Amino acid sequence: MSVSVSIDNAVAVVTVDRREAMNALDVTAAHTLRDRLAELATDSAVRCVILTGAGEKSFIAGADLKMMAQFDYEQGKAFVDLGHEIARLLETMPKPTIAAINGYALGGGCELALACDMRYAASHARLGQPEVNHGLIPGWGGTQRLARVTSLGFAKDLIFTGRLIDTDEALRHGLINGIGDPVLNKARETAQLITRKGPESIAIAKSFLNRALQGDYLETLADEAAALAHTLPTPEAREGLAAFLEKRPAAFQEPGA
């Protein structure tokens, strides 16, 4: 199976396994990844999703270039659109997503990591947007998300040169949140911390954080204030505030429970 899912303690781990191709995505694997993420997005028992690759060599080495070399315009456009669907699912699902970068995160693989809310990398990992080396450009949102996550100047550096960077440089520029070995354990630690928080408040906070670099600033601030007022009388907020006042851990329920 090219994509597997395991769920433990409200944390889903999605693993891309095409080790024969450095976990690069072909059409079948991309469709499967999209479908699995869509299922997890609506699964109330899952509070955090980790994306990783099988083995220790590669996270996701982008799209399968052997496949792409055979594409005409229509096939290429369909595959690019599919990649955008995957990225948007990671970016917008109402629960945090974490990339556990266990090796090479290249091209579309780096772009999918950028679409996640947080990124942790193994010390040996390498990241980059090498598309220009092949006469291509980043096509799964890399030109936009890389500039927003790091800076415009650094994004131009990586995209124009096509060079790969190590985890120390990635951390300095904010491309990753941290380095850990084994990286999946590092990602799980953060995921477990998140699962102990209120899932509805996390979902609302994520939706507003995603608007931080887009849309109208003042309008978003007004919407944020209204959303906070809306959360105050909810059972989740009542439990969280009561737990604070009673000096005990909060016992948050699954949404709709």
In this prediction, residue 228 carries a pLDDT of 77
pLDDT mean over 32-53: 98
Q: Give catalytic residues, as residue numbers.
A: 111, 131
pLDDT mean over 159-187: 98
SS3 sequence of the chain: CCEEEEEECCEEEEEECCHHHCCCECHHHHHHHHHHHHHHHCCCCCCEEEEEECCCCEEECCECHHHHCCCCHHHHHHHHHHHHHHHHHHHHCCCCEEEEECCEEECHHHHHHHHCCEEEECCCCEEECHHHHHCCCCCCCHHHHHHHHCCHHHHHHHHHHCCEEEHHHHHHCCCCCEECCCHHHHHHHHHHHHHCCCHHHHHHHHHHHCCCCCCCHHHHHHHHHHHHHHHCCCHHHHHHHHHHHCCCCCCCCCCCC
Q: Is the pLDDT of residue 217 over 70?
A: no
Q: Is the pLDDT of residue 125 over 80?
A: yes
In this prediction, residue 71 carries a pLDDT of 85
With cut-offs at 50, 70 and 90, classify the pLDDT of residue 229. Answer: confident
pLDDT mean over 243-253: 89
With cut-offs at 50, 70 and 90, classify the pLDDT of residue 53. Answer: very high
In this prediction, residue 119 carries a pLDDT of 99
pLDDT mean over 38-59: 98
With cut-offs at 50, 70 and 90, classify the pLDDT of residue 226. Answer: confident
In this prediction, residue 55 carries a pLDDT of 97
- Interval 71-101: pLDDT, tens: 888 898 999 999 999 999 999 999 999 999 9
In this prediction, residue 256 carries a pLDDT of 64
pLDDT mean over 63-78: 88
